[in-house]
Structure 1
Amino acid sequence: MKSLSTTLTLVLCAYALAVAPAEAKKKQQKDEGQQQEETKSEAPPRYTPFPHNLIFNLVDIDGKAPPAEMWLRIDSTGRANGSSGCKNWSGIFAVGPDRFGPRTMPAFTESPCDPAQKAFEQQFWAILLGGPFWDLKGDQLIIKAFKGPGVMHFQRSL
């Protein structure tokens, strides 16, 4: 009886030693496959520099077309200028990798306009002065409000 239990123990140990490396190899291959999938799916985000020295015309704010021509331009030193419908403006903006905002309050030259245009312009300034996020997709500049609703779509001018 003692030899049967010894033999059985030796057989089980041999089986465990034979199976363990094969299981470890399968697990290692599975882990490597998962790491490769994670590497492919988690590509690092690409940095896109801000499009300095270009004029961008406003296409819409939250899907509503502007009642008058509105545009902006920021040069490589941060100097910005544009038209917000009722006002022509200029100022200095700090531009970061995904956000920008005014360093100083922009200077305005105002001209008379109707109340609907003034309301649209107020929405434009609420987004622009609030330190919005920016993104570039082809020839479109997208500016999204830092807090709350508000997305402006601009198209690069020719």
Structure 2
Amino acid sequence: MWRSPPSIMYFPPPTRSTTAWRTGFRRAGPSPQIPGLASISPLRHFLVRRHSATQRLQGHDMRTKLFLALLTTGLLAAFALPAAAQDATIVGRHKKKAQQEQPQQPTFAQPDQTFPVGAQWTVSEINGKPVPGDAELTLSIDGNDRGTGFSGCNTWSSTLKPIQGQRLAMGSVALTSKTCPPAVTQIEHVYLGILHSGPYWSIDGSDLIVKSQYGVLRFKRGI
């Protein structure tokens, strides 16, 4: 028996491009440029949203850290100010207490004292110590405000006037030209230096005290 050949079915070609037919979607424009991601990946929208969310979280973390840093700084400053004020108060109290406990400086002669003009004075101590060796240091002031004496090596003379405020004002000093050992010459310089520095004077019992920033002289009254 004769049989007809099987019929051949015809399928028309796809109307879309092969790529679109296989993937099932078309390109809708350029994809966001995210490093490491192909522009045609089907996960691009999800990754873009995830990338944006990550950026927002990072920005939020930065703002949180900045806020915490400012808050910490403010708290430290708030605690530091009372502590500094307390320290200043304590220092002020100690300073005031030290000033109260500090012994008062000995006062020199009262303004109503009169310098003993015409008396002869000999130095017994320099800065609280006896005069070294056999050095002789003398002083006398006459009624014409003329001072004379011996300075350990040479004889000296100068105007030497007691002035207001229990002080002595000394002019230019005239000295003899004798040469002495260095130790004696040094004592002479110290003695005349104190007298020439505008010192204060006072009477302590029967002694004369002459004091300046360069030293203290204690004189014994001669007979």
1:83 to 150, 158, 168: 150
Aligned partners of 1:58 and 1:154 also within 8 Å: yes
Structure 1: which amino acid aligns with 2:142? D
Normalising by structure 2, what TM-score?
A: 0.47
Question: How far, CA to CA, are the matches of 1:65 and 1:107 in structure 2?
Answer: 26
* Displacement of 1:71: 0.3
Aligned partners of 2:119 and 2:221 also within 8 Å: yes
Structure 2: which amino acid aligns with 1:50? F
1:101 to 169, 179, 184: 169
How many residue pairs are counted as aligned between the two chains? 111
* Displacement of 1:126: 1.5
Name the structure with the higher strand share: 1
Q: How does 1:111-130 map to 2 (within 5 A)?
A: 111-130=178-197
* Displacement of 1:64: 2.6
The answer for the alignment partner of 1:143 in structure 2 is: 210
Q: How does 1:52-63 map to 2 (within 5 A)?
A: 52-63=117-128
Structure 1, 70-79 or 93-102: larger mean CA deviation: 93-102
Q: How does 1:28-67 map to 2 (within 5 A)?
A: 45=110, 47-66=112-131, 67=133
1:131 paired with 2:198, answer yes
Question: How far, CA to CA, are the matches of 1:94 and 1:56 in structure 2?
Answer: 16
The answer for the alignment partner of 1:72 in structure 2 is: 139
Extract unaligned runs of 5+ from structure 1.
1-44
Aligned partners of 2:193 and 2:214 also within 8 Å: no
Secondary structure of 2:157's counterpart equals strand
The answer for the alignment partner of 1:28 in structure 2 is: none
Extract unaligned runs of 5+ from structure 2.
1-109
Question: How far, CA to CA, are the matches of 2:200 and 2:151 in structure 1?
Answer: 19
Identity of aligned residues (%): 33
Aligned partners of 1:86 and 1:110 also within 8 Å: no
RMSD: 1.4
1:153 paired with 2:218, answer yes
Normalising by structure 1, what TM-score?
A: 0.66
* Displacement of 1:73: 0.1
Structure 2: which amino acid aligns with 1:150? G
Higher-Rg structure is 2
Question: How far, CA to CA, are the matches of 2:181 and 2:128 in structure 1?
Answer: 20
